Amino acid sequence: MKNLFAERVLRNDTSDLNEIFKNSRNPENISFAGGFPDKQLFPTQALKAAYARAIDQAGPAIFQYASTQGLLSLRQKIADRMATHAGVQATAANVMLTQGGQQAIDLVAKLFLNRSDAMVVEGPTYMGALAAFDTYEPTYYEVPVDKHGMDTDRLRTTLAAHPEIKLIYTVPDFHNPTGTTMSAKRRQTLVALANQYNVMILEDSPYRDLRYSGKAVPAIKHYDTEGRVIFISSFSKILSPALRTGWIVAATPVMDALVGLKSAIDVQSPNVTLAAIDQYLATNDIDAHIATINQQYRVKRDAMLRALDRYFPSTVNYTRPAGGFFIWVTLPAGIDAQALLRDVVLPQAHVAYVPASCQFASRQVKNGFRLNYTSLSTADITSGVQRLGRILQTQLAVAPQPKLSFQF
Amino acid sequence: MKNLFAERVLRNDTSDLNEIFKNSRNPENISFAGGFPDKQLFPTQALKAAYARAIDQAGPAIFQYASTQGLLSLRQKIADRMATHAGVQATAANVMLTQGGQQAIDLVAKLFLNRSDAMVVEGPTYMGALAAFDTYEPTYYEVPVDKHGMDTDRLRTTLAAHPEIKLIYTVPDFHNPTGTTMSAKRRQTLVALANQYNVMILEDSPYRDLRYSGKAVPAIKHYDTEGRVIFISSFSKILSPALRTGWIVAATPVMDALVGLKSAIDVQSPNVTLAAIDQYLATNDIDAHIATINQQYRVKRDAMLRALDRYFPSTVNYTRPAGGFFIWVTLPAGIDAQALLRDVVLPQAHVAYVPASCQFASRQVKNGFRLNYTSLSTADITSGVQRLGRILQTQLAVAPQPKLSFQF
């Protein structure tokens, strides 16, 4: 029946990478590829109690159809938190609950993107966002990320050259996949450019609260003067991804349209889940929980950086993130990280990572990969990086001279 | 920012109807407009216990990322149920769990519909499906429904005239909004026509198990010989809509593509919810639960039919469904049910229904409306129908001679 599939499906073939990961299911493997939280840190008993309490308090009504925008008291708590934790003034009416941050991305893409419409993504960027955008078949313009976040000088040039651009997608806090955070100055420049060129900004910030060192920067939406910034985040990294609960903060005309779209996509999010999260927040200190998570993840990040310092060849570059889930590794130019993964790293070192190519909209940059440290024990982090470092030492010894085509 | 919205959003303005329903929130009102189950029939305590047991059994792992296709043991139970209850042979690999039946519709639309691609919908049809399809901007061909379901003679003519048609959407069991069920003969004809013209069939069957009289007909997918039928259903009407859990049964190439699309839309459904439903099914007899529901809904349907027989003018026609949620009322030609609702029925009778226009892709048929009976008490059903009947008696007395433009 493939002859009947829509073009959006036929043109986005990711079977190569799927094939690699399908072949990677081996208990000997250490995978740095996922973006998983550490399951030992889930507040399992507190969430169990929250489900029971939510059902007891609401009774049968909790199982009925409810609002598309989502449970009001949870939206109110999120609005309050946006003020205290991100410097964003919002009311519950400006908050919608979604099926994780992923659905928030899909909804915003669906709202703005006709086929071929122009948008800016960071290079590299979150591959799940690319997967969502791809189904709306936009024209991508890639703006590089450096250690202060998206390069706003390059953004200015791009916007000037392509005034048809409608949307800018950015992960400003502990960027996926590089781990860098956009400076406050660039955030202000970004908003000024969006105002100047009549562009929307999609600020995707699921890692914002996971800071292990340094001081928080206000959200891009904090600097928003014209309702151009759509802020999205989720409970996936701070509570549990299986709850599939994220949120969008947006100005009223955008919010109204997003609610209409969500209604046509899945009517609403599961009310029982929303009520359970609401109960969890009412009776637990989520900031104390996040502080515990951050303490653990800091140790893991430090273990990975120590292992990289120790075992990786000096011709390889990597980021030193102040928070989040990921470290980005840049290989010498000419090295194809995906081919290396398939041919050498997986079969010989039994280690997995996410190669660069699928994290650039252009699919052209190949000499890098993303490493996750949150889901592994420090022992596995050290031993996996050691195994990977040994392979890289061998491979890069026979590779061309180091000349970094993408670096920090 | 509306100047930046995509055309799919700008062209689908449903604000008229939204406005009517916004003004209908009055505690005096009796609403036949929703498609809600009776919340008193939700197995609240059993579901509460199922959540607790699911979390206890799986431990913290239940809160981690899981499969996009959904929990295997639940998919297995659904596959088994498809065989016993719908005559459909399927394995767990052919089942995917979705955010209610609505997401299943959205996914299938996204898989097959480029902008302007041709598809068939019934006239009338489920308005939520139209809302989902609308966002892919298809070209609709409307095939009427009569008391044996979609008119397959008209379908044949339509397919012959428009060989570019890719997809047929049908609600064969206790059709939304008319309540009729497609005959076994027409189901076989439908599959034969789809084979002949290389068309996919989307069989949407959320009401299938809610039969109050008569004998079940096999699913359309039972007659599928070429993997052309995609069957979708949900737990919304038989367990709870707030669980937002539906499923798709499809042949492997279609399933693979749908899993890829879901991954880009929301990664996966909430694993806690899926595990709770799995636990509910493992330790409760859902067929006994459905029998209880059917007993209650039969009483409500009968109460509505009795009230319609007694209070509605003889120039008005209505269906007598053997199951499901809805009765369809046909007014004399020339009567605009939406204007009547806004100008007379809501303000004077304080009763709401869903007018015809939004349930036809063409938006051209106006002389009818949908009534729901499952969510109301028999007292409210009787009194609401009486109030509505009184208004119709008055209005139709001054209306043009009865000449039914759409009828059963």
Q: Which chain A residues are within 8 Å of B42, Cβ to Cβ?
A: 60, 63-64
The pLDDT, as a whole number, for residue A73 is 98
Which one of A136, A261, A266 has the shortest CB-CB distance to B100? A266
Dihedral sign of CA atoms A321, A324, A325, A330 in order? negative
Residues A214 and A261 in one domain: yes
The answer to whether A59 faces chain B, any CB pair under 8 Å, is: yes
Residue B408 belongs to some domain of the structure = no
The pLDDT, as a whole number, for residue A87 is 97
Q: Which chain A residues are within 8 Å of B39, Cβ to Cβ?
A: 60-61, 63-64
The pLDDT, as a whole number, for residue A147 is 94
The pLDDT, as a whole number, for residue B19 is 72
Q: What is the pLDDT of residues A201-242, one digit of tens each?
A: 999 999 999 999 999 999 999 999 999 999 999 999 999 999
Quote ipTM for the complex.
0.94
Which of the pair, B396 or B72, is modelled with greater confidence?
Answer: B72
Q: Which chain B residues are within 8 Å of A71, Cβ to Cβ?
A: none
- With residue A18 as reference, give the H or E element that holds it: helix A15-22
Question: CA-nearest residue of chain B to A226?
Answer: B1
Q: What is the pLDDT of residues B184-193, one digit of tens each?
A: 999 999 999 9
Whether the CB-CB separation of A122 and A144 falls below 8 Å is answered with yes
Question: C-alpha distances in angstroms, B134 versus A227, A260, A406, B110?
Answer: 27, 12, 42, 11
Residues A176 and A217 in one domain: yes
Residues A147 and A103 in one domain: yes
Asked if B48's CB is within 8 angstroms of A60's CB, the reply is no
Here the tokens at position B142 are 């409307």
Q: Which chain A residues are within 8 Å of B253, Cβ to Cβ?
A: 1-2
Residues B31 and B88 in one domain: no
Residue B136 belongs to some domain of the structure = yes
Tell the burial category of A230 from Cβ atoms under 10 Å away from its Cβ (0-12, 13-18, 19+): buried
Asked if B272's CB is within 8 angstroms of A51's CB, the reply is yes
The pLDDT, as a whole number, for residue B11 is 78
Asked if A51's CB is within 8 angstroms of B266's CB, the reply is no
Here the tokens at position B103 are 């997401």
Tell the burial category of A291 from Cβ atoms under 10 Å away from its Cβ (0-12, 13-18, 19+): exposed
Count of domains forming chain B:
2
For chain A, give the mean pLDDT.
94
CB pairs under 8 A between A and B: 234
Residues A306 and A274 in one domain: no
What is the CATH classification number for the domain harbouring A208?
Answer: 3.40.640.10
Segments of chain A scoring below 70 in pLDDT = 13-16, 23-24, 399-408
For residue A238, the SS3 value is coil
Q: How far apart, in whole angstroms, are the C-alpha atoms of residue B350 and residue B384?
A: 8
Which one of A5, A6, A60 has the shortest CB-CB distance to B42? A60
Residue B53 belongs to some domain of the structure = no
The answer to whether B52 faces chain A, any CB pair under 8 Å, is: yes
Distance (Å) from the alpha carbon of B192 to chain A's nearest alpha carbon: 16
Which of B244, B262, B280, B296 is best to mutate for the A interface (most A CBs within 10 A)? B244
Residues B231 and B327 in one domain: no
Whether the CB-CB separation of B32 and B375 falls below 8 Å is answered with no
Residue B113 belongs to some domain of the structure = yes
The number of C-alpha atoms within 13 Å of A194 and in the hemisphere containing its C-beta is: 30
In the predicted structure, residue B332 carries a pLDDT above the cut 60: yes
**What HEC string does B319-361 produce?**
CCCCECCEEEEECCCCCCHHHHHHHHHHHHHCEECEEHHHHCC
Whether the CB-CB separation of B95 and B79 falls below 8 Å is answered with yes
Angle at A235 between CA A220 and CA A380, to 5 degrees: 105
Q: How far apart, in whole angstroms, are the C-alpha atoms of residue A392 and residue A367?
A: 12
Which one of B117, B131, B270 has the shortest CB-CB distance to A244? B270
Whether the CB-CB separation of B167 and B143 falls below 8 Å is answered with no
Residue B143 belongs to some domain of the structure = yes
In the predicted structure, residue B118 carries a pLDDT above the cut 60: yes
B190 Cβ contact list (under 8 Å, min separation 6): B150, B152, B155, B168, B170, B182, B201, B220, B223
**Confidence bin at B397 (pLDDT 50/70/90):** confident
pLDDT over 70 percentage in chain B: 96
* Structural domain boundaries enclosing A20: 2-41+288-397
Q: How far apart, in whole angstroms, are the C-alpha atoms of residue A283 and residue A276?
A: 11
- With residue A142 as reference, give the H or E element that holds it: strand A139-146
The pLDDT, as a whole number, for residue B18 is 74
What is the CATH classification number for the domain harbouring A325?
Answer: 3.90.1150.10
**In which residue are the tokens 């009547």 written?**
B340
Closest C-alpha to A209, from A406, A37, A402, A388: A37
Q: Which chain B residues are within 8 Å of A3, Cβ to Cβ?
A: 198
List the alpha helices (DSSP H) in B218-270. Answer: 252-266
Whether the CB-CB separation of A112 and A166 falls below 8 Å is answered with yes
Residues A207 and A312 in one domain: no
Residue B48 belongs to some domain of the structure = no
Residue A406 belongs to some domain of the structure = no
Whether the CB-CB separation of B149 and B203 falls below 8 Å is answered with no
**Confidence bin at B399 (pLDDT 50/70/90):** low
Residues A32 and A90 in one domain: no
Residues of A (243-302) whose Cβ lies below 8 Å from B:
243-245, 251, 253-254, 257, 260-261, 263-273
Here the tokens at position B170 are 């049908």
The last residue of one of the domains, among A268, A283, A298, is A283
User: Can you tell me the mean pLDDT for B240-268?
Assistant: 96
Going by the DSSP 8-state scheme, the letter that residue A11 receives in this structure is T
For chain B, give the mean pLDDT.
94
The last residue of one of the domains, among A283, A309, A341, is A283
Residues of B (75-94) whose Cβ lies below 8 Å from A:
none
Question: CA-nearest residue of chain B to A165?
Answer: B4
The pLDDT, as a whole number, for residue B218 is 98
Distance (Å) from the alpha carbon of A202 to chain B's nearest alpha carbon: 13
Question: CA-nearest residue of chain A to B117?
Answer: A6
Q: Which chain A residues are within 8 Å of B242, Cβ to Cβ?
A: 62-66, 270-272
Question: CA-nearest residue of chain B to A129?
Answer: B264
Residues A173 and A94 in one domain: yes
Residues B168 and B229 in one domain: yes
Length of chain B: 408
Residue B319 belongs to some domain of the structure = yes
The last residue of one of the domains, among B283, B299, B322, is B283
Instruction: For residue A177, say if its preceding peptide bond is cis, omega within 30 degrees of 0.
Output: yes
Asked if B242's CB is within 8 angstroms of A272's CB, the reply is yes
Residues A99 and A56 in one domain: yes
Residues B266 and B351 in one domain: no
Distance (Å) from the alpha carbon of A315 to chain B's nearest alpha carbon: 35
Whether the CB-CB separation of A107 and A262 falls below 8 Å is answered with yes
Distance (Å) from the alpha carbon of B65 to chain A's nearest alpha carbon: 5
